[in-house]
Amino acid sequence: MQRTLFNEDHAAFRESAKAFVERTITPNVEKFIEQRVIDRDVWLEAGRQGLLGLEIPEEYGGSGANDYRFNTVFAEELCRVNAAVASSLGIHGDVVAPYLVDLCTEEQKQRWLPGMCTGEIKTGIAMTEPSGGSDLAALKTNAVRDGDDWILNGSKTFITNGYTADMIVVAARTDPSKGARGITLFAVETGMPGFERGRKLDKVGQHPSDTAELFFSDVRLSQEHVIGEEGQGFIYMMERLPQERIGGAISNLAHAQGVFEETLEYVKERKAFGQAIGKFQHNKFLLAELRTKLDVSQAFIDGLTMQHVRGELTAVEAAQAKYWSADIENEVIDACVQLHGGYGYMTEYRVARAWMDARVTKIWAGSNEIMKELIGRDLGL
């Protein structure tokens, strides 16, 4: 499908991003899967190529692009090779960076943003808790005042980059009496007394992205570690979740597109009963349906991406994009596994790994059921 949201600058950037992926990611995917983490050298190289600071102003070492289409291009090129790498780098550059750029003091920006751009400071964000799931307003992790400082206690789980991040944005309850308006964001750094990580979690898929539980036991935080205003954390998260969700939708669709294209080549070459398996009517019709669903979905996501570029994307539209793209991604990749037959169930085949990687997209960034709840409420139900 011909896409209309990109211009010549985006096309040139895509070539640079593709070269980075082919040189740095593709040859090492198997290693990242085995060790359950992306080498820091990848982060440093991404920093040298200017790929980590797309959301960060130039005075802090970033690109200052102010155009989410560049983020889109980078995510798409990563997802065509491995969705977990895109997730890990995306959390850092697409999700955490806007919090720091928008909410931090000048001193805080000087402290963290340059290192984020170079890859020397790797970041994550800790919202989800063992008992809360998608219910961000039900946080139990808490921070209480002790003089001018805060004392942080609690735990988080399923945190992307959690095992190796140098700095993590942590949401904690600071005033239980105020409900959602009693949540504050803090920056917790590696090496702080009382901050510990659990093991790298053993996930079904998304193996290259390190994911961990985080534990906070009387972690002392100064006022310099408060991000934004006290009590505004929930509002800050709600304001920035649409970007996380449209970013997830972009990645979901790019992941499915890449697997579909590989499968299309496979069914043209794989023979059964004397002909390519793609020639059988059932398979031909199935692939025609998948191609159409991908193109229709791409037009939808591209349109919402442009709304986001213009600052017009709503939370409800982001929820639609997130749930729909996750469903389409899983439908397409599951069909591609079937078309590969027994080989589709072998983990040495990219399609099998993609199938495992895709399943979580219906759960994270707010489960698809929560997305439908948000959409239903907007319908007045």
Annotated active-site positions, please? 244
What does the alpha-carbon distance between residue 246 and residue 237 come to, in Å, rounded to a whole number? 14
3-state secondary structure 258-321: HHHHHHHHHHHHCEECCEEHHHCHHHHHHHHHHHHHHHHHHHHHHHHHHHHHCCCCCHHHHHHH
Cross-strand bridge partners of residue 221: 150
H or E, element range at 126: strand 123-126
What does the alpha-carbon distance between residue 178 and residue 196 come to, in Å, rounded to a whole number? 28
CB 193 within 8 A of CB 215: no
**CA distance from start to end of the chain:** 36
What does the alpha-carbon distance between residue 181 and residue 175 come to, in Å, rounded to a whole number? 8
